[in-house]
Amino acid sequence: MILGCPGSQGFKQPHPETIDCPVCGYEIEIWSDEAQVECPKCRKAVAREGGQCCLDWCKYARQCAGPGVYDEYIKRKAQKK
């Protein structure tokens, strides 16, 4: 396993990003470790666009990101479905 995998940094050290609500166009802050947030203006759930990340396929994901981060990611992903 590579120490300090760059693919998991957004989960281990979350940072804010902004996206536009597809319903009302309001600019929303979403953190790199969040799959979806609620728009504060129209109250609709807004999901982050994107495909799989390394936590979905890497056999070292749980050890690399840490059990707490990994388990929370899997939990949020299941809630999104």
State how far the alpha carbon of 40 is from the alpha carbons of 5, 14, 23, 68, in Å.
34, 21, 12, 28
The pLDDT of residue 47? 81
1 part of a folded domain: no
Distance CA 48, CA 36 (A): 6
pLDDT in tens, 4-14: 677 777 677 78
The 10s digit of each residue's pLDDT in 48-64 is 776 567 888 888 888 88
For residue 37, is it within any domain?
A: yes
Q: What whole-number distance in Å separates Cα of residue 80 and Cα of residue 63?
A: 24
The DSSP code for 21 is -
Burial class (CB in 10 A: 0-12, 13-18, 19+), 29: exposed
Total tally of structural domains belonging to the chain: 1
pLDDT of 1 above 50: no
Note whether residue 2 is domain-resident.
Answer: no
Q: Is residue 29 part of a domain?
A: yes
- Angle, vertex CA 8, rays to CA 59 and CA 73, nearest 5: 75
Range of the domain at 41: 8-80
**Residues 11-35: pLDDT tens digits?**
777 889 899 999 999 999 998 878 7
Classify residue 61: in a domain, yes or no: yes
The answer to the question of residue 62 being in a domain is: yes
